[in-house]
Amino acid sequence: MIYLASASPRRQELLERIGVRFELLAPNAEEAEAAEALEAIDPGERPSDYVVRVAIAKARAGEARRQARGLPPAPVLAADTTVALGGRILGKPADAGEAAAMLRALSGRTHRVLTAVALARGRRIDHRLSNSRVRFARLGAADIAAYVGTGDPLDKAGAYGIQGYAGRFVRRIDGSDSGIMGLPLYETHCLLRGLP
């Protein structure tokens, strides 16, 4: 059994898919504000460094929550996903206008989806990085407006989630579909098994 330091339903579904037993260790409302602060981008930070740093910080915060709540010892799993267009990090959009701008930038181009997964075992934290390439079709203004109108882009890195409506924009994937959804299953399996 592990603790999952995330409220993401996608991550929960993915863990269930591979038969991992877990207990949620999501932050409460007060802790969620501190978690949002972890996601601030440091000036000049590379996308791969950013996503690894945030995943490790989330695992560390999850382990601290476990201890503070007096829960029995068990590994704490955390993850973070970001979209990178060149060296630019596209996090979660602040509003519909920013979501539309991100989708216009991704239209007809290839971008990277980086997901880092981190596992805390007490003070020890190990991590893995999944790096996938996604090619979007050219998106018309109506496509973008319709998708933004669903509200779905507002809580997604890069303003889209591949597992839903936006999946129809994807022409090609080179990498991990589960990593693009927020939890790379191969890397997670390796971490849980202690594999190199």
Catalytic (active-site) positions: 80
In the chain, where does DSSP find H-type helix? Answer: 9-17, 29-38, 47-68, 96-106, 141-149, 177-181, 185-193
Alpha-carbon dihedral angle through residues 168, 170, 176, 177, given to the nearest 10 degrees: 0
Alpha-carbon dihedral angle through residues 117, 187, 135, 158, given to the nearest 10 degrees: -10
Alpha carbons 66 and 60: distance in angstroms, whole number: 10
Torsion sign, CA atoms 107, 108, 109, 114? positive
